[in-house]
Amino acid sequence: MTSRFAVRAVLFDLDGTLADTAPDLGGAVNRLRERRGLDALPIELLRPVASSGARGMLGVGFSIRPGDDGYDALRDEFLAEYESALDRDSRLFDGVAECLAALQARGLRWGVVTNKAQRFTGPVVAGLGLAEGASVVIAGDTTPHAKPHPAPLLEACARLGIAPGEAVYVGDDLRDIEAARAAGMPGIAAAYGYLGESPDLAAWRPDAVIATPLDLLPLLDAAGR
């Protein structure tokens, strides 16, 4: 796509967009499986649903869904296990650090808007070295609603003191694009990410698609600061 966006800030999803957090999420699932005498699953099997958090991980790891008997207890065990080792193997995707540095060099602020709860978001953002550069971090429980509701994106813009149309949102899941559209900002799909349970990017109707983090830079024009 050749669209260019005049912006003052770039907002990013976390899991599957800025960072590959699947190894730590998957590690928590596999430790739960091992406690139950089950073989560990390959991370590649778990990676596509990593953006869906506990629901996605437990769905693949144990074929259990919200509302099923035992789901709540298993979810709580999974979250405690993940919290105990949530920045062991998570890494920024190739090109992310360079992309963020280039945004700052252009005078553009950037931030994180994720559905991950704050108890996990803070340590992960810090562990990845993102805390100092981020102008805003919105977790899944910062506002009463999580994505695809626009509230988290609107809260990020309010904290930055900008209009929603002065930001873009980059994400690797359909709900990211839906949230951006509902908030009134361009939504850019990260084709290198997890892509969730609906990987047909054309059906998402994003405003642009990027194959690597650095592909974002040619799409952006700096608006008046």
Annotated catalytic residue 13? yes
**Which 3-state string (H, E, C) describes 158-179?**
HHHCCCHHHEEEEECCHHHHHH
Classify residue 19 by its DSSP letter.
Answer: E
Cβ contact 7:207 at 8 Å: no
Catalytic residue among 15, 24, 172, 207: 15
Q: Which residue among the candidates 13, 20, 24, 176 is catalytic per the annotation?
A: 13
d(CA 173, CA 133): 24
Helix (H) or strand (E) holding 50: none
The CA-CA-CA angle for residues 199, 196, 166, to 5°, reads: 85
Active site residue 68: no
**Angle formed at CA 58 by CA 145 and CA 202, multiple of 5 degrees:** 60
- Tell me whether strands 19-20 and 136-138 are parallel, antiparallel or unpaired: unpaired
Catalytic site positions? 13, 15
